[in-house]
Chains A and B, each alone.
Chain A
Amino acid sequence: MLNRLFWKKREFSVTYQFGFATIALICFFALYAPISTLVFYSFNAGNNLMLWEGFSFQWYVEASKNELVQEAAIRSLIIAVCASLISTLVATMAALGTTRTAPFKGQKLIFIMINQPLMVPEIVTAVALLIFFAIIKTFTNYYGLGYLITAHAAFCVPFAYLPIKARLDGMDLSMETAAGDLYATPFVVFRRITLPLLWPGILAGAMLSFVISLDDVIITEFVKTAGQDTLPTYMLGQLRRVITPEINAISSVLLAVSLVVVTIFFLFTRKRY
């Protein structure tokens, strides 16, 4: 029934089989039902998470007036922007180094080393960073945001690396060869050909690491010093006290920011070449 409804004209498609549409719908439901509920209750007029007492923007106003939330939000943004810039730069250089050269010994090893942080349990990285930064702190007496930015930049590198590498892999080397053939020196080839073609990949890497940094809890929780809460760690702290729909409101805003980032990314990369 549903199949007929959705894929009337694609008779030879493998998706034209019994149950495909139903399963797809169940998946979408499982993905979006909790999020919809969360967003829905952020507009609750009462202070209960499960009891609907009418529509209001009360919790958004409340959250935006909360100084702790304001500070955490600003801190989150600063860290995410800095971390994504640094990690994207590093990842771009790493991706160029691992794809734009003739195959060399140890190339696989480097590739694995760049991506290894994705496999290491985050809690392990967090503890390691905690200890490492503790040592540095005793030597330098510096207690600023630098640690959080460094930590975020570090774990964002593999996330930024993957889309950039994917883009480079799909980019024929013959374009750069052709530019060299037309009297462009290697630096000019990079600036006029490689970089413009790589741009969507770099942008994707930056956005991805921005979003990853924005919602990180575990590493931030371990690395931060007192009074360095980001939005997610602030919310985590709130869970230990009374929960009000303020949490829903903050979450909804975070969700909106992520959606905006993703949308911008799609708009930027819509031109396909």
Chain B
Amino acid sequence: MSKTKKDAIAIHVNGVGKYFGSEPNLVKALDNVSIDIRRNEFFTLLGPSGCGKTTLLRLIAGFESPTFGQMLLDNQDITNLPPYHRSVNTVFQSYALFPHLTVAENISFGLEMLKKPKHEISATVDEMLALVHMEELKHRRTDQISGGQQQRVALARALAPKPDVLLLDEPLSALDYKLRRGMQIELKRLQLETGITFIFVTHDQEEALTMSDRIAVMSNGHILQVGTPNEIYYNPQERFVADFIGESNFIEAEVVSVTKGRSATASLRLAGTRKTFKANMPASKSKDKTATVFIRPEHAKLQKSTRGATLTGTLTNMLFFGTDTNYHLELDNGDAFVVRSQNEIGHAFHPAIGDKLGVVIDEQAIQVLKD
């Protein structure tokens, strides 16, 4: 695939909304959502339960039509196209396998509907069975295989017609941790091998970070931020995004001054401390006197003495995670703050609960949020 083709837009969602019900009980499942999903991209929709992820997938698949807005697939308007005319396949949250058909018959269903020649169908079915490692269970009925196997059949069934776009609605949520890990790697491999655009839904932030090319964080029928896992993790724009992905500390800061340049920079003073920091200021906040600052627990360092520390506080709790330990502090102004540090062998630093400790924060670790 050429470079230009790879960067081309596969799905273009333009100002789409989906409302259910009518006035007193109106549900705005999606409200004015716009995204561009590139071809051959592993795109993840991430958000809490009820935020509209499934609704967006159903609109793209064509099971539902939007209340307003427009959708394009490869520059062709598909807003009112029925699902059987869209080159889009879905892996359903509930798998929705056909229980009266065998594994092979399930996989060949889409190909038969596309009226592919017989030999091509059987070749593709075998190829798909090999892809998901299900060759032995070819002739088994789908209600006689395990949940993990059903999931793989659902995947093979949706992949077999080689659609332009594959939609996956929390396909791994029913699997145990080990199997889930394996499937994550397999899914990623499949996406790279087939060159199909994947739109993947999950509410597991770790899964989203490890698998995606880009992530859209959703809340309440809106898309809050779209970006690479790195951008989403290190530069969340809003408190919700920062809070939903990983662990975060939020601290109120006083804006001392703002210097206008190509991007506005602010001098900040954290939670009643004296030292000032420089950080990028979102354009919308350039006139504000206070701001919320966000710091990842692993970007702060704990030290025994309070001298030279950015913040000081009392240790209230320690949570051991194997590789890391979370130190919960109560800052001098009463706010809570968490520091995460890696456990090292022979580490001499063993604070006890109730100790007065110092926290050192690097200037680069400080990020000002939009809200």
Contacts and interface: CB of A to CB of B under 8 A. Distances in A.
Interface in A175-209: 175, 177-185, 188, 192-193, 196-197
Contacts of B92: 174, 177-178
A88 B84 CA distance: 30
B114 interface: yes
Decide if the interface of chain B is mainly helix, strand, loop or mixed.
Answer: mixed
A11 interface: no
B105 to A, nearest CB: 10
A172 interface: yes
A177 B90 CA distance: 10
A32 interface: no
Interface string B150-178: 00000001100100000000000000000
B100 A182 contact: no
Contacts of A180: 63, 82-84
Contacts of B88: 181
Contacts of B143: 272-273
A192 B96 CA distance: 15
Interface residues of A, number: 19
A117 B126 CA distance: 54
A183 B96 contact: no
A239 B88 CA distance: 70
B109 interface: yes
A94 to B, nearest CB: 23
Interface residues of B, number: 25
B317 interface: no
Given A183-B110, A183-B113, A178 B90 contact: yes
Contacts of A188: 113
Contact of B84 (A185, A192, A272, A273): A185
Interface of B: 61, 63, 82-85, 88-90, 92, 94, 96-100, 109-110, 113-114, 141, 143, 157-158, 161
Q: 7 tightest CB-CB pairs across the interface, nearest first?
A: A182-B110, A273-B99, A183-B113, A174-B96, A178-B96, A180-B83, A183-B84
30 contacts: A174-B92, A174-B94, A178-B97, A179-B109, A180-B63, A180-B82, A180-B83, A180-B84, A181-B61, A181-B63, A181-B90, A181-B158, A182-B89, A182-B109, A182-B110, A182-B113, A182-B161, A183-B84, A183-B110, A183-B113, A183-B114, A184-B84, A184-B109, A184-B113, A185-B84, A188-B113, A192-B109, A193-B98, A197-B100, A273-B99
